Amino acid sequence: MTDILRVGVVGCGLMGAGIAEICARAGLDVIVHERDADSAEAGLSRITASLNRAVRRGTLQGCERDEALAALRVTTDLQDLADRDAVIEAATEDERVKTGLFADLDRIVLRHDAILASNTSSLPIMTLGTATTRPQQVIGVHFFNPVPVLELVELVPSLLTSSETLSRAEHFAASVLGKRVIRSQDRAGFVVNALLVPYLLSAIRMLESGHASAKDIDTGMVLGCAHPMGPLSLADLIGLDTLTAIAGAMYEEYKDPRHTAPPLLLRMVGAGLLGRKTGRGFHEYTVHL
- Positions marked active-site: 121, 142, 154, 193
Report whether 40 contacts 76 (CB < 8 A): yes
Which residues are bridge partners to 143 per DSSP? Answer: 153
Q: Are 153 and 143 in contact (CB under 8 A)?
A: yes
Q: Which residues pair with 275 in a beta bridge?
A: 280
Check: CB of residue 125 under 8 Å from CB of residue 46: no
146 Cα distance to chain centroid: 9
Cβ neighbors of 210 (< 8 A, separation 6 or more) are: none
Closest CA to 165 of 117, 207, 119: 117
- Residue 50 and residue 17 in contact, taking contact as beta carbons nearer than 8 Å: yes
